Amino acid sequence: MSELVNQAKTTEDRGHLTTEKRLDASSELDTLSTEGMLHVMNGEDAKIAAAVEKAVPAIAGLVDSIVERMKRGGRIMYIGAGTSGRLGVLDASEIPPTFQADPSMVVGIIAGGDGALRKSSESKEDVYDGSYEALDELGVNGDDVMIGIAAGGTTPYVWGALEYVKKKGGVTGFVSCVELGEIEKRFGVAVDHKIELIVGPEVVTGSTRMKSGTVTKLALNMISTITMVKLGKVWGNLMVDVKATNAKLVDRAVRMLMGQTELEREDAAKLLEKADGHVKVALVMQKKGINAEEARSLLTKYEGVLHPILGRPR
């Protein structure tokens, strides 16, 4: 018997999963005009925000758990395979430049390693303990939060990682596009925070890079962004914990300083230079009439949060 036939006989039938079902609205997709096809896709995408809204209470619980542990030195760890893994790595990679965060604060792990970001390594997702070597190297501990990402919810690689973290005393979350209750029982791993984003069958049956991928990206945006806000990296709605390292960021930083002080553009740029490109430091220097070293010391005292130092932004 061939390996493929044997695998088909022994593999669980996943046809009952929402992500694997056929969508009636796209059953004649290949016969439609180009605009007709696009309207079908757009109509399905329009349902995504409502699915996220339903999950907001669960996302809030996960974020609060993350913030509590990050204040003790914990980390967010995303883990997934294929599209799900790529989305986790993408979100993790965007945090350092956006929030001047240490790259170790949010970590993305994908089945097959970084090479799988460009070239699929889908078979790696079936290895339950496939992440253990990487997790050993990361030194996972009880303050870490592991967020599994799998649209269909059945990826062994992800469940193995969640079990590993549970044994270390860490917190677990799971972002999926199916209900996880029965799957959770089958794997025997109790997830602390289940983020179930039910968007229904895909326009192209089983292609979870579509609605499932989009809704997952929205959820990850919310998790990481609101975590950073609660850690003091945003003042009002201003991205103040950014370092001006290119032309776009210099312009943004200078405009923020001009908006919050009486300085003209050139003087704001000079202030930013004295602050080594750090907007937070520059703001405290200007508003408190102190030098950069004193401003950094004050920020350290208040754990980088501007509210107790400067009040509300104008």
Identify which of 126, 131, 179, 130 has the alpha carbon closest to the alpha carbon of residue 151: 179
* Residue-level pLDDT at 8: 46
* Residue-level pLDDT at 122: 65
Mean pLDDT score across all residues of the chain: 93
| Whether 125 is catalytic | yes
- Helix intervals (H) in the chain: 3-10, 34-45, 48-70, 82-99, 132-138, 156-167, 181-187, 211-228, 247-260, 265-274, 279-288, 292-301, 307-310
Report residue 245's pLDDT band, with 50, 70 and 90 as the boundaries. confident
Mean pLDDT of 244-254: 91
Residue 14 confidence (pLDDT) above 80: no
Residues 6 or more apart whose CB falls under 8 angstroms from that of 37 comprise 29
Residue 4 confidence (pLDDT) above 70: no
- Cβ neighbour number for residue 90 with a 10 Å cutoff: 14
The CA distance from 176 to 115, in Å, is 24
* Residue-level pLDDT at 3: 61
Residue type, 42: N
Report residue 10's pLDDT band, with 50, 70 and 90 as the boundaries. very low
Residues 6 or more apart whose CB falls under 8 angstroms from that of 110 comprise 79, 80, 81, 85, 86, 88, 89, 116, 117
Mean pLDDT of 105-130: 87
Q: Which domains does the chain show, CATH number per domain?
A: 18-233 (3.40.50.10490), 247-310 (1.10.8.1080)
Mean pLDDT of 221-248: 93
Is residue 138 within 8 Å of residue 107, measured between CB atoms? Answer: yes
Mean pLDDT of 25-42: 96
Mean pLDDT of 246-254: 93
Per DSSP, the three-state class of 83 is helix
- Location of structure tokens 């937070």: 280
Q: Which is the catalytic residue, given 12, 28, 68, 125?
A: 125
Report residue 290's pLDDT band, with 50, 70 and 90 as the boundaries. very high
The CA distance from 270 to 25, in Å, is 58
Q: What is the CA radius of gyration of the chain?
A: 23
Residue 296 confidence (pLDDT) above 90: yes
**Maximum Cα–Cα distance for the chain, whole Å?**
79
Residues 6 or more apart whose CB falls under 8 angstroms from that of 298 comprise 284, 288, 290, 309
Lowest mean pLDDT among 53-62, 98-107, 115-124: 115-124
* Residue-level pLDDT at 117: 85
Give residue-wise pLDDT tens across range 159-190: 999 999 999 999 999 999 999 999 999 999 99
**Dihedral over Cα of 54, 55, 58, 60: its sign:** negative
Q: Which is the catalytic residue, given 68, 94, 184, 294?
A: 94
Per DSSP, the three-state class of 306 is coil
Identify which of 269, 264, 274 has the alpha carbon closest to the alpha carbon of residue 295: 274
* Residue-level pLDDT at 242: 80
Mean pLDDT of 264-285: 96
Report residue 119's pLDDT band, with 50, 70 and 90 as the boundaries. confident
Identify which of 43, 48, 10 has the alpha carbon closest to the alpha carbon of residue 215: 48
Three-state DSSP string of 226-264: HHHHHHHHCECCECCCCECCCHHHHHHHHHHHHHHCCCC
| Whether 94 is catalytic | yes
Mean pLDDT of 259-263: 95
**Dihedral over Cα of 210, 223, 155, 111: its sign:** positive
Identify which of 62, 63, 110 has the alpha carbon closest to the alpha carbon of residue 85: 110
Give residue-wise pLDDT tens across range 71-113: 999 999 999 999 999 999 999 999 998 898 999 999 999 999 8
